[in-house]
Amino acid sequence: MIMKDKTEVEFQVEWKKMGVPANETVLVAVSTGCDSMTLLSLLQRLPEKMRPTVQVAYVDHQLREQSKKETDFITKYCQKNGLVLFKNVWEKEFHPKKGIEESAREFRYRFFEKIMEETGIEYLLTAHHSNDQAETILMKAVRGGDLEQLVGIKSARTFGTGKLLRPLLHFSKETLKEYAERNQIKYFEDETNALDDVLRNRLRHHVVPFLEKENRHFLTHVEELSLQLKDLLDYSDKKIIDDCLLLKVEGGYSLEKWLEQDESQKRLTLKHILKQAGNFSLKKQEQCVKMLENDAKPQGSLALGNSCAFFRTYGIFGIKKTEKNNQESENKVFKLEPGKWYSLSERGKIGIFRRDKIDLLSEDDVLEIASPNDLLLRHRRCGDVLKTKNGSQKIKKILIDKKIALDERKKLWLVVNGENQAIWVVGVKKSDLSRGCVNAKIQYIAVFRK
């Protein structure tokens, strides 16, 4: 009786979980290292009824002296085994001075994605294992404090036009190495992995082995914790999304409803809303919380980057796109000539007309004026006032009383006379000193039409 290899049996179980149909073409990312060559061998040794059609993607990063030998090896291996091979070279002239590991990864995955797009291959397979998982989670714990990052590497995720699968996540590095030795699988060692110049290598050489000595089931526990955390976050995300939908109002989210939530709900819903603009530190999230809970300041804005800002405008808050400060546009002044419309962008249009020369609409906003001469159209400026029969009133105070948002205030237009005095905050309030003489032969009106 032929004894079945334990690793191959366990791999068959894991491969079934991937849900890839038999004979489906898969693209295997191969570096010629122990992990990827073992994955390639395990796929080729699957029972025929489970075995996919394997094609190989390989990149010569030109980072090691032995890269030519590795390229020759994988080329001959694929020829011998009848495997389609896609090769690419990352030329040295394109190597950056800093961040070379990340740049190499980006080059590699762009190449994989291009192959999938051009061939229609749906599945990309990589050889990440449980040690990689532990290292990744420890790295993220060291570098950041976001709980979601501690989920680590997913066994399956969307990638390009298809999916990225990691069927070896259940296996330890030691198990894969022992399998390779038992089956005399040839592979190349990356000598840079022996250095302690990057965090991942230091964790690999010192921290993970120490934790495995403390508990030989450490890698299994990391895998179990990662799966449990993923399930918990998936469930809570659905609840948080529902809570955010209850906060939704026109123009953003209801501050009143947000304040009614308990403290944990406040933080979680706010974090979800902030995700519209990216991932942010707890410090940035706390700044947003303080803005929302500050009764003394009903309006405010906080830059988030990515051309986005977090805003609070009285009872509404949310994310908005930030506009470039166009000083030239803000200082623009138009001389209003009778009989002509002037566009106020999305707000509508305004013009000066003789009463008997225009057909008014029911929704038109109209201001009677004594004289059409020397009237100007401009944006609000610091110190502007609106004069009425009862005296002058600061336009800023008018806008505050009417609870007009800061962003909206910048977009408002004013009609001013020859003395640069505001006679109309268009769409908001008019001066009652501008009315023309009822008995005048020619009487003009300013018309604002949305």
Q: How far is CA 300 from CA 232, 314, 316, 321, in A?
A: 34, 9, 11, 14
Q: Max alpha carbon distance in the chain (Å)?
A: 117
In the prediction, which pLDDT does 243 show? 96
In the prediction, which pLDDT does 277 show? 86
Q: How far apart are CA 360 and CA 358, in angstroms?
A: 6
**Which amino acid belongs to residue 409?**
R
**Cβ neighbours of 356 (radius 10 Å):** 7
Confidence category of residue 437, pLDDT binned at 50, 70, 90:
very low
Beta strand pairing call for 422-425 and 429-430: antiparallel
**Which amino acid belongs to residue 228?**
Q
Confidence category of residue 438, pLDDT binned at 50, 70, 90:
very low
The closest of 324, 388, 79, 39 to 180, measured between CA atoms, is 39
Average pLDDT in the chain: 90
Confidence category of residue 434, pLDDT binned at 50, 70, 90:
low
Of 133-137, 271-275, 343-347, the least confident: 343-347
315 alpha carbon, distance to own chain's centre: 26
pLDDT in tens, 353-404: 988 889 999 999 998 887 888 899 998 888 899 987 778 889 988 898 888 8
**Cβ neighbours of 394 (radius 10 Å):** 12
Max avg pLDDT among 106-120, 133-147, 418-432: 106-120
In the prediction, which pLDDT does 324 show? 61
Confidence category of residue 13, pLDDT binned at 50, 70, 90:
very high
pLDDT in tens, 233-254: 999 999 999 999 999 999 999 9
Confidence category of residue 433, pLDDT binned at 50, 70, 90:
low
In 324-336, which positions are buried (b, 16+ CB within 10 angstroms) versus exposed (e)? eeeeeeeeeeeeb
The closest of 158, 180, 183, 162 to 171, measured between CA atoms, is 180
Q: How far is CA 69 from CA 34, 60, 182, 259, 333, in A?
A: 15, 10, 23, 64, 71
In the prediction, which pLDDT does 371 show? 81
Confidence category of residue 73, pLDDT binned at 50, 70, 90:
very high
HEC string of the chain equals CCCCCHHHHHHHHHHHHHCCCCCCEEEEECCCCHHHHHHHHHHHCCCCCCCCEEEEEEEECCCCCCHHHHHHHHHHHHHHHCCEEEEEECCHHHCCCCCHHHHHHHHHHHHHHHHHHHHCCCEEECCCCHHHHHHHHHHHHHHCCCHHHHHCCCCEEEECCEEEECCCCCCCHHHHHHHHHHCCCCCCCCHHHHCCCCHHHHHHHHHHHHHHHHCCCHHHHHHHHHHHHHHHHHHHHHHHHHHHHHHEECCEEEHHHHHHCCHHHHHHHHHHHHHHHCCCCHHHHHHHHHHHHCCCCCEEEEEEECCEEEEEECCEEEEEECCCCCHHHHCCEEECCECEEEECHHHCEEEEEEHHHCCCCCCCEEEEECCCCCCEEEECCCCCEEEECCEEEEHHHHHHHCCCCHHHHHHCEEEECCCCCEEEECCCEECCCCCCCCCCCCCEEEEEEC
Q: How far apart are CA 440 and CA 371, in angstroms?
A: 10
pLDDT in tens, 78-95: 999 999 999 999 998 889
Q: What is the dihedral of CA 259, 263, 266, 272, to 10 degrees?
A: 180
In the prediction, which pLDDT does 323 show? 65
Whole-structure pTM value:
0.69
CB distance 37 to 30 below 8 Å: yes
Domains of the chain: 6-214 (3.40.50.620), 244-321 (3.30.465.60), 328-449 (no CATH)
In the prediction, which pLDDT does 325 show? 54
* 354 backbone dihedrals φ, ψ, rounded to 5°: -70, 140
Q: How far apart are CA 160 and CA 114, in angstroms?
A: 9
Cα(first)–Cα(last) distance of the chain, in Å?
A: 87
**Which amino acid belongs to residue 163?**
K
pLDDT of 327 above 80: no
The closest of 100, 60, 92, 64 to 198, measured between CA atoms, is 100
In the prediction, which pLDDT does 250 show? 92
Max avg pLDDT among 17-21, 363-367, 418-422: 17-21
Mean pLDDT of 142-171: 91
Share above pLDDT 70 across residues of the chain, in percent, rounded to a whole number: 95
Mean pLDDT of 417-436: 82
Of 165-169, 200-204, 438-442, the least confident: 438-442
The CB-side HSE value for 337 (13 A sphere, CA atoms) comes to 1
- 34 or 404, higher pLDDT: 34
Confidence category of residue 435, pLDDT binned at 50, 70, 90:
low
